[in-house]
Amino acid sequence: MTGQDWVLADAFDRAAPTYDAMVALSPGYHDQLRTAAEALVGRMPLASGGRRAAVLDLGCGSGASTRAVLEAWAAAGRDPATLEVTGVDASEGMVDQARAKTWPGGVEFVVADAVTHLRTLPDASVDGVLGAYLLRNVPDRAELVAEVGRVLRPGGAFAVHDYSVAGSVRARAIWAAVCHGIIIPLAVVKRSDVPLHRYLYTSVRDFDSVERICERLQSAGLADVRHRSYPGWQDGVVHTIVGSAPA
Ligand SMILES: C[S@@+](CC[C@H](N)C(=O)[O-])C[C@H]1O[C@@H](n2cnc3c(N)ncnc32)[C@H](O)[C@@H]1O
């Protein structure tokens, strides 16, 4: 891991015990994760030959996105016994929070850097990958997306869910106003991890535009790349981008 990864994992370790309470303050957080997971599951073909579909939840954190995958799977009328989900996160503290929750069989959590974990997997061995609030944090985004493209089975899907404001003056202004007017002051008042909240602001400000994320997926060989945003202040700020490995 690079020094930057170490610091970030360390910051998430510190935030881990209060992470769920923190995201509970973010309107629509869980509903939007669920929508992203539904977009992923909706693209995934039924696994053949009696094997379980393999899904990676990269940057799974405390398991909110992992839970969203399970819920989306059930909502699509798919048998929970036909799914296995591996949550991968660089922060041991976040994975500890995830592991402390109750999960059905077929769900496991791994403490690892996302790219490092992907490199251990064979070509065409995974049916779906969710990266919720992950890509922005990864130093080598091109490599992460290329590795996802490599491990996906034909017909498999990749969903990226994250803040992205670079492509819109309006979205950049909203993001600056929300961070400087609410998120960072709230972190100060609640004696939360202020540097992590400042990092949230700058990492989103400096992240790819939605168009650039779409290009990244296309460059990795993914097809039918589409994106959507969400209502409210997050319109044009929070996005889900999904693409499929050609069948
Ligand atoms: C904002 S949290 C999102 C957690 C979860 N996906 C959710 O939607 O609630 C981002 C997570 O990505 C993890 N992360 C950041 N960089 C990572 C990397 N290179 N590899 C694996 N995990 C990483 C952090 O430790 C953190 O738990």
As given in the structure block, the two tokens for residue 227 are 């994106």
Total domain count, the chain: 1
CATH of the domain at 104: 3.40.50.150
Band the pLDDT of 74: cuts 50, 70, 90: very high
pLDDT digits (tens, 9 = 90+) for 106-129: 999 999 999 999 999 999 999 999
**Which numbered atom of ligand 1 lies nearest the CA of 200?**
1
As given in the structure block, the two tokens for residue 42 are 């909706």
Q: List, chain by chain if needed, residues with CB within 6 Å of any ligand 1 atom.
A: 5, 8-9, 12, 33, 59-61, 64-65, 88-91, 94, 113-114, 132-134, 137-138
Band the pLDDT of 195: cuts 50, 70, 90: confident
pLDDT digits (tens, 9 = 90+) for 9-61: 899 999 999 999 989 988 899 999 999 999 999 999 887 788 999 999 999 99
User: Would residue 103 count as lying in a domain?
Assistant: yes
User: Would residue 172 count as lying in a domain?
Assistant: no
Backbone angles phi, psi at 238, to 5 degrees: -105, 135
**Which numbered atom of ligand 1 lies nearest the CA of 137?**
16
User: Would residue 50 count as lying in a domain?
Assistant: yes
User: Would residue 197 count as lying in a domain?
Assistant: no
Q: How far is the centre of ligand 1, averaged over its atoms, from the C-alpha of 48 (Å)?
A: 31
**Which numbered atom of ligand 1 lies nearest the CA of 91?**
25
Q: Does the pLDDT value for residue 187 go beyond 70?
A: yes
What range defines the domain where residue 53 resides?
3-164+208-244
User: Would residue 182 count as lying in a domain?
Assistant: no
Check: CB of residue 93 under 8 Å from CB of residue 63. Answer: no
What kind and span of H or E run contains 157?
A: strand 152-163
